[in-house]
Amino acid sequence: MSEDWYRVGIDVGSTTIKVVVLDARGELAFRSYARHFSEVRKTVESSLETLAAGDVLSPETGVSVVLTGSGGVGVAEILGFPFVQEVIACSRAIEERAPHTDVAIELGGEDAKITFFTNGVEQRMNGSCAGGTGAFIDQMAVLLKTDAAGLDELSSRAKNLYPIAARCGVFAKTDVQPLLNEGVAREDIARSIFQAVAHQTIGGLACGRKIRGNVAFLGGPLNFLPELKNRFIETLAVQPENQVRIEDSELFVAIGAALHGKESATRPFAEVLAAFRKLAFLSVEGASALRPFFLDDAERQAFYAQHEKARVRRGRLEDYRGPVFLGIDGGSTTTKAVLLGENLELLYTYYSSNEGNPVRIVGNILEDIYDRLPEGAHIVASSVTGYGEALIREAFRLDHSEVETIAHYKAAKHFLPEVDFILDIGGQDMKCLRIRDGVIDNILLNEACSSGCGSFIETFAAAGVDQRGGEDGEGTAFFDVARRAEETLGLLQGVGVHAAGKHLAGGRNHSVVGACEPCQRVEQNDNVLLVFGETLGLFDHHFGHLGVARRRLVERGGDDLALDRTLHLGDFFGALVDEQHDEFDIGMIGRDGMRDVLQHHG
């Protein structure tokens, strides 16, 4: 083999980009590991610019370049470089660097794999959910107000374990939030999160096949988070002599790609660098595009006019005199409240995170209401709904409580008397309610995937996708975004390669509706009410993200409304039922008693 050529491996993963350079002896001459935040092109180019600035390669040095990873195929197609599938790249690296390995467990940003090397190569990989991956760990870290490294440090001081679901980040939050509310140590929650990841990976992927022999742990999370790795080792009871010790395990797939490089395919490094610098001006053929939300301004204005029907009548609390009715929605992560006047005018609203202490937040709301309530106005009845209805009703002695589904229907019927179908998208759940003859006939709830919920939208926002979908309704290209986490990755990587983020923002709205389609079919003449609870808190005015409602779900329906106050629909019901209640028996706790409650709950 010639001594003057090098092999470059580039692993474009779901959340990170790894670049390695191997010299003629197979030694690692350069390494780079960086998060791309969906900016694939910029991050790859930046990594190669760093390589060029060093003394490893000169412009004339011959290099072979091989790409791999979930986002690598698009880049390889654009630039004409060879691509190798991740399983093949990983297997090649294992064969050359750790040939005694029987099983490799790899966690990536949004995927997880278990590869068995005994009696042939067999790989198991998560398909439709990113639960239990690096992205899942990042989400859980945010709940504990830290980052992944901080989560690892917390776990090192833990004493207890608690059951937490890792199948879906949304449902894991539902498990974690009560633990936080109950005062469980953050250290114990951190270790429990890592244990959930281990259980999800082993149980979900091994599917009963025994993990035995020599086990290697690959990928960024298992390399940078030793406490996470310890959870796997303890769960599998892997003895020290069976733990395969691999240096640079987070780069292993990129190393495998580099090992596939051939001397016959070399080209000057300057030529390679120039090709990647042109990446921004090239695109992938065959991307699936959708019809714009609105073909022209006339369509937009007609749509806005339709939804003006759903505006809530408002009044000024400071000018109001008479009875008022209080409604509270104690959600799993947020708390909402409204005050209605005797003519159902909206006098007061509140929407915010419950910060892990819903009793404290409701107490603050009541304090604020008492401060603002003018002379001559008085609360005559109160009601609560949501996850925390029992706790809040008991703590503040509210008059009534009701389950969420009934609350949604009651308020929906007020705005749209002939409502047939209610779509409720919240921060952690998504419900389809079918109404027949004035009765809720069928309810379907998402069970194993958060796709289409608030966290789905937040994930895209955090990835740097333009959120202004409502203003991009006449864009020329909207991409058909997949409805499940794993399917979305390829397109998300492509945003950094060849698509403006605003186009994906439009495609995202289509995807949210697409995720709802399997639950219920909206008939031709159905009257549809869209309830986008916590999900669209950023778009409080006139529902804001009207593009969502425009998509196929209701495009050919009968009368469809997206309320301008959907954030408060559940608590609007509470105030509404109070207003309609015949007995004005004030049972709500007084201001002095409320302070005692707040002192008790910290």
Bridge partners (DSSP) of residue 400 are 383
pLDDT for position 295: 84
pLDDT for position 496: 42
Burial class from Cβ neighbours inside 10 Å (0-12, 13-18, 19+) for residue 583 reads exposed
Name the least confident of 91-100, 318-327, 367-376, 485-494: 485-494
- Cα-only R_g, the chain: 28
**How many angstroms separate the CA atoms of 590 and 99, rounded?**
72
Measured over the CA atoms of residue 515, residue 520, residue 525 and residue 530, the dihedral's sign is: negative
Percent of the chain that is helix, strand, coil (3-state, to 5)? 45, 20, 35
pLDDT for position 77: 87
Tokens of 281: 């001006």
**How many angstroms separate the CA atoms of 303 and 298, rounded?**
9
**How many angstroms separate the CA atoms of 572 and 236, rounded?**
51
Bridge partners (DSSP) of residue 338 are 327, 349
**Chain-centre distance of CA 486, in angstroms?**
12
Q: Spell out the residues 6+ positions from residue 111 whose beta carbon is closer than 8 angstroms to its own.
A: 14, 70, 125, 126, 130, 133, 486, 489
Amino acid at 212: R
Largest CA distance in the chain: 93
Higher pLDDT, 522 or 441: 441
pLDDT for position 354: 74
Q: In the block, which residue shows the tokens 């960024």?
A: 220
Tokens of 4: 């003057």
Name the least confident of 122-131, 260-269, 525-534: 525-534
Q: Which pLDDT band holds residue 530 (cuts at 50, 70, 90)?
A: low
**pTM of the predicted protein model:** 0.65
pLDDT for position 468: 43
**How many angstroms separate the CA atoms of 175 and 163, rounded?**
8
pLDDT for position 536: 34
User: For the residues 418-437, what does the mean pLDDT come to?
Assistant: 83
Burial class from Cβ neighbours inside 10 Å (0-12, 13-18, 19+) for residue 206 reads middle
pLDDT above 50 (res 243) = yes
Picking from 73, 457, 447, the residue whose alpha carbon sits closest to that of residue 286 is 73
pLDDT above 90 (res 270) = yes
Where is 220: in which H helix or E strand?
Answer: helix 220-224
**How many angstroms separate the CA atoms of 131 and 126, rounded?**
9
How wide is the angle at C-alpha 447 spanned by C-alphas 538 and 147, nearest 5°?
Answer: 55
Higher pLDDT, 76 or 355: 76
Picking from 519, 491, 518, the residue whose alpha carbon sits closest to that of residue 505 is 491
pLDDT for position 538: 31
pLDDT digit string (tens) for 461-505? 654 544 444 444 555 444 454 444 434 434 334 434 434 344 433
Instruction: Let me know how long the chain is.
Output: 602
Phi and psi (nearest 5°) for 211? -100, 105
User: For the residues 107-131, what does the mean pLDDT come to?
Assistant: 83
Q: Spell out the residues 6+ positions from residue 528 whose beta carbon is closer than 8 angstroms to its own.
A: 419, 420, 421, 422, 423, 522, 553, 554, 557, 558, 559, 560, 561
Burial class from Cβ neighbours inside 10 Å (0-12, 13-18, 19+) for residue 449 reads buried
| Mean pLDDT score across all residues of the chain | 78
Using DSSP's 3-state secondary structure scheme, residue 234 falls into helix
Higher pLDDT, 60 or 411: 60
Tokens of 525: 């003449």
pLDDT for position 317: 95
Name the least confident of 370-374, 386-390, 519-523: 519-523
Q: Which pLDDT band holds residue 418 (cuts at 50, 70, 90)?
A: confident
pLDDT for position 382: 93
Tokens of 273: 């660098």
Cβ atoms of 568 and 329 within 8 Å: the answer is yes
DSSP annotation of 34 reads: E
pLDDT for position 540: 33
**How many angstroms separate the CA atoms of 519 and 507, rounded?**
20
Name the least confident of 489-498, 535-544, 556-565: 535-544
Tokens of 401: 């409580």
pLDDT for position 417: 87
Cβ atoms of 177 and 165 within 8 Å: the answer is no
pLDDT digit string (tens) for 187-207? 999 999 999 999 989 988 888
**How many angstroms separate the CA atoms of 313 and 557, rounded?**
26
Higher pLDDT, 543 or 345: 345
Where is 400: in which H helix or E strand?
Answer: strand 400-402
Cβ atoms of 453 and 535 within 8 Å: the answer is yes
Higher pLDDT, 459 or 543: 459
Picking from 41, 36, 47, 37, the residue whose alpha carbon sits closest to that of residue 9 is 47
pLDDT digit string (tens) for 167-191? 666 667 778 877 887 789 999 999 9
pLDDT digit string (tens) for 569-591? 555 555 665 555 544 444 565 55
**How many angstroms separate the CA atoms of 516 and 336, rounded?**
24
pLDDT for position 123: 86
Q: In the block, which residue shows the tokens 């001006």?
A: 281
Cβ atoms of 173 and 165 within 8 Å: the answer is no
Question: What's the Cα-to-Cα distance from 359 to each of 98, 328, 372, 487, rounded to whole Å?
Answer: 55, 12, 20, 40
Measured over the CA atoms of residue 179, residue 184, residue 189 and residue 191, the dihedral's sign is: negative
